Amino acid sequence: MKILSLILRIAIGSLFLLSGFSKLVNVQEFFNIAVQYGIGIMAYLSVLIPPVEILLGLALIIGYRTGISGLITSLVTLVFTMFFIYGSFFGKVDDCGCFGSVLKLNMPTWSIYFRNLIIIIGGFIIYNVNDNAHRTWQIALIVPLSVLVFTASGISLVSPFYNPEK
């Protein structure tokens, strides 16, 4: 079970890192995607989503408090899924915005639900198998990166690092 947990940590962590960085390069565009969901608070919180995804992905990959990281990953994915369900039925969402403006997913809706279900189950497996231990080097990596990605998210909201129109 530890091997399965390690594989899930690396796979889900990598997915979260990729998703977070692809949104981080143009938070303004991700904000525009979030507006389409029709949930006002989600659009305003969209600037926080890329850094949270990056930090969760990194925490899973390096093994920082893996139990709580797995649980938070499952809960965050559950919330994202509920927003997507609402946006699909009541908003103008045709793309989940999972990878911001960098990569448009042309996936059927059912496959997004299935992928998210796998992530949610995987997060709970990680939660049940691992502990909440941490090492000093992990904190020394997470804290400065936290400051960096939250700052970059604010900068990218005003002046995107990537503009798909160029």
Q: What is the pLDDT of residue 37?
A: 78
Q: Per-residue pLDDT tens for 53-84?
A: 999 999 999 999 999 999 999 999 999 999 88
Q: What is the pLDDT of residue 166?
A: 54
Residue 5's contacts (CB-CB under 8 Å, 6 or more residues apart) are 66, 125, 126, 129, 130
Q: Per-residue pLDDT tens for 10-22?
A: 999 999 999 999 8
Q: What is the pLDDT of residue 7?
A: 95
Q: Please list the ranges in the chain whose pLDDT falls under 70.
A: 101-103, 105, 162-166
Contact 62, 143 (CB under 8 A): no
Q: What is the pLDDT of residue 101?
A: 66
Phi, psi of 133 (to 5 degrees): -75, 155
- Burial of 23 by CB count in 10 Å (0-12 exposed, 13-18 middle, 19+ buried)? buried
Contact 84, 38 (CB under 8 A): no
**pTM (two decimals):** 0.87
Q: What is the pLDDT of residue 79?
A: 92
